[in-house]
Amino acid sequence: MLWTVSLCLLLAVSSSGVPLDRYSTKGQHKVLLISFDGFRWDYDRDVDTPNLDRMAKDGVKARYVTPPYLTITSPTHFTLLTGRYIENHGVIHNMWFNITTSEKLPYYATQFKNEWWDNGTLPIWITAQRQGLRAGSLHFPGTQSTYQGETQTVKDVEPRFYDYKNETKWRENVEKVMGTWFSEMDLDFVSLYFGEPDGTGHKYGPDSPERREMVKQVDRTVGFIRSLAERNGLADSLNIIITADHGMSNVYRNGLVKEITLSRIPGFSFRDIAFHLVDFGPSGMLLPKEGMLDKVYNALKGANPHLHVFKKEEMPERLHFANNNRILPIILFSDPGYVINGFLPVQFNTGEHGFDNEEMDMKPFFRAVGPVFQKNLEVGPFETVNIYPLMCHILGIKPDPNDGHLDATKHMLISTTEDLRQDIKSNIFVGLAAVAGFLVVVFIALVSFNAFKKETNDRSSEKSLPPGGKEETHQTAL
Ligand SMILES: [Zn+2]
């Protein structure tokens, strides 16, 4: 009887840690990953953003996040989808290029170059589908490609001349994702891309009133996304992560800075170069002709204090941008404020990105809300490679090899499966301790009861002793 009581007690205490695997069970929780291109971490500081503020209150806000280097659109988005640094996933630039033919394709055309994207690393869409989930993507870089012959359950690629700023189109896209993809088709994971405030940041600069207006449009859209999640009955299952690929920084010219133009650097000549990617903001790559590597390198190195020049093998390891055959032998980047021109200063953007990812201007924002996320929590910065393992964890799928760590993001969650397991372990410990305590109490009670009983019996036998009984007792004691 005693053991039955103890067992019941143990079970009652240890089961208080349920539900076990509450949100790591595959298919129970959905994830919507949203990118607002070029939304810098501090863009909500000089604009009224009631919807982003409410999202932070209802969920989690990171102070900022750190994108991988090179801080440009396609490479950093592919890091969000794979959790790998750019040298490891291979989408090293916005532009597809061929060093033999000197062909180059701009951002949009590169979306259709399958081999640029499908080069060994699987994005989360495919990994999720291989594990029984359903995934979709709207306008996210890399959406058009197939990966090892597979593609998303549903996808939507923007037309050639797409107006990335059109708010009516934004709302139609949100309606499609929420109403059709998540609600009707019951997809588990969707990535959704908006091309702003990047375009406005480039054109007018990050400090412009135009950029502030565009942030208001982003904010309205965030409110619309959340209201559609509610309206479609997704509030209990959908987790929304909103972030960006990079930030934005002011570019100076017109005498404010001494511009960097490679052709004007003494000892440097484009005749020594077999292939180049310059006139692309603050970053550049060069392939010198046979035997010209040192000549080119020595001419550029130290030519301008705001121009950083590296042979591929001397790139700082923290940038994770060297160990890939697609990366050219000489890598250049400039300090904020400057861009790298080739023959002539032909770049006219007011804002740019592509700088060192340590620059605060390159850091994107991060917000997350949903049933698995804590509420009203602000966390410190983390690298965007860590968003992939977080998403896999929420979806309950096994991640492919990646450069992120769940440890960097799991503190944003209400409670991870691991935590629950720990809880259960400690509950079992508490349960055992309680049982042990209970047994000790029972033991003491039994001993006391027996002693009391004995004493009572003794007393009653004393009272009923016949005359001379004392002697008998005395004798017995002997
Ligand atoms: Zn971008």
The alpha carbon of 279 and the centre of ligand 1 are apart by a number of angstroms equal to 17
> What CA dihedral angle connects 90, 96, 100 and 103, to 10 degrees?
-170
The alpha carbon of 289 and the centre of ligand 1 are apart by a number of angstroms equal to 31
Separation between Cα atoms, residue 279 and residue 442, nearest integer Å: 83
Please list the residues that pair with 275 across neighbouring strands. 287
The alpha carbon of 285 and the centre of ligand 1 are apart by a number of angstroms equal to 19
The alpha carbon of 86 and the centre of ligand 1 are apart by a number of angstroms equal to 15
pTM above 0.75, yes or no: yes
The alpha carbon of 200 and the centre of ligand 1 are apart by a number of angstroms equal to 11
Do the beta carbons of residue 102 and residue 128 sit within 8 Å?
Answer: no
Phi and psi dihedrals of 104, rounded to 5?
-140, 140
Do the beta carbons of residue 34 and residue 225 sit within 8 Å?
Answer: yes
Chain length of the chain: 478
Taking only the tens of pLDDT, the chain with its 478 residues reads 444 444 444 443 333 333 334 445 566 899 999 999 999 999 999 999 999 999 999 999 999 999 999 999 999 999 999 999 999 999 999 999 999 999 999 999 999 999 999 999 999 999 999 999 999 999 999 999 999 999 999 999 999 999 999 999 999 999 999 999 999 999 999 999 999 999 999 999 999 999 999 999 999 999 999 999 999 999 999 999 999 999 999 999 777 778 899 999 999 999 999 999 999 999 999 999 999 999 999 999 999 999 999 999 999 999 999 999 999 999 999 999 999 999 998 888 999 999 999 999 999 999 999 999 999 999 999 999 999 999 999 999 999 999 999 999 999 999 755 555 555 565 565 556 666 666 766 666 676 666 656 555 555 544 444 443 333 333 333 3
pLDDT given for residue 256 in this prediction:
75
Kindly list the catalytic residues. Answer: 73
Separation between Cα atoms, residue 317 and residue 322, nearest integer Å: 8
The tokens for 186 are 């019951």
Separation between Cα atoms, residue 164 and residue 154, nearest integer Å: 21
Candidate CATH numbers 3.30.420.40, 3.40.720.10, 3.40.50.970, 3.40.50.720; the one for domain 25-249+356-417: 3.40.720.10
Under DSSP, is residue 166 helix (H, G, I), strand (E, B) or coil? coil
Helices (H), 26-166: 50-58, 73-82, 86-89, 107-110, 114-117, 124-130
Question: What residue type is 360 in one-letter code?
Answer: M
Separation between Cα atoms, residue 297 and residue 431, nearest integer Å: 69
Please list the residues that pair with 307 across neighbouring strands. 334
Residues bordering ligand 1, an ion, CB closer than 5 Å: 37-38, 73, 198, 245
pLDDT given for residue 341 in this prediction:
96
Does residue 465 have a cis peptide bond before it, meaning omega lies within 30 degrees of 0? no
pLDDT given for residue 85 in this prediction:
98
The alpha carbon of 78 and the centre of ligand 1 are apart by a number of angstroms equal to 11
The alpha carbon of 420 and the centre of ligand 1 are apart by a number of angstroms equal to 38
Query: Please, where in the chain does CATH 3.40.720.10 lie?
Result: 25-249+356-417
pLDDT given for residue 150 in this prediction:
98
- Rounded to a whole number, what is the distance in angstroms from the first to the last CA of the chain? 39
Separation between Cα atoms, residue 333 and residue 310, nearest integer Å: 9
The tokens for 27 are 């298919």
Return the closest-CA partner of residue 462 out of 454, 452, 470: 470
The alpha carbon of 244 and the centre of ligand 1 are apart by a number of angstroms equal to 8
The alpha carbon of 121 and the centre of ligand 1 are apart by a number of angstroms equal to 21
Separation between Cα atoms, residue 304 and residue 176, nearest integer Å: 50
The alpha carbon of 245 and the centre of ligand 1 are apart by a number of angstroms equal to 6
Separation between Cα atoms, residue 436 and residue 432, nearest integer Å: 6
> What CA dihedral angle connects 94, 97, 102 and 104, to 10 degrees?
-40
The secondary structure element, H or E, covering residue 351 is strand 351-352
Query: Please, where in the chain does CATH 3.30.1360.180 lie?
Result: 260-348
Does residue 19 have a cis peptide bond before it, meaning omega lies within 30 degrees of 0? yes
The tokens for 465 are 């002793």
The alpha carbon of 77 and the centre of ligand 1 are apart by a number of angstroms equal to 8
The alpha carbon of 243 and the centre of ligand 1 are apart by a number of angstroms equal to 11
pLDDT given for residue 359 in this prediction:
98
pLDDT given for residue 257 in this prediction:
78
Which residue carries 């088709």 as its tokens? 185
The alpha carbon of 401 and the centre of ligand 1 are apart by a number of angstroms equal to 25
The alpha carbon of 157 and the centre of ligand 1 are apart by a number of angstroms equal to 16
CATH of domain 260-348: 3.30.1360.180
Do the beta carbons of residue 19 and residue 421 sit within 8 Å?
Answer: no
pLDDT given for residue 449 in this prediction:
60
The alpha carbon of 228 and the centre of ligand 1 are apart by a number of angstroms equal to 26
Pairing of strands 30-36, 238-243: parallel
Question: What residue type is 246 in one-letter code?
Answer: H
- In a 13 Å sphere around the CA of 204, the CA atoms on its Cβ side amount to 12
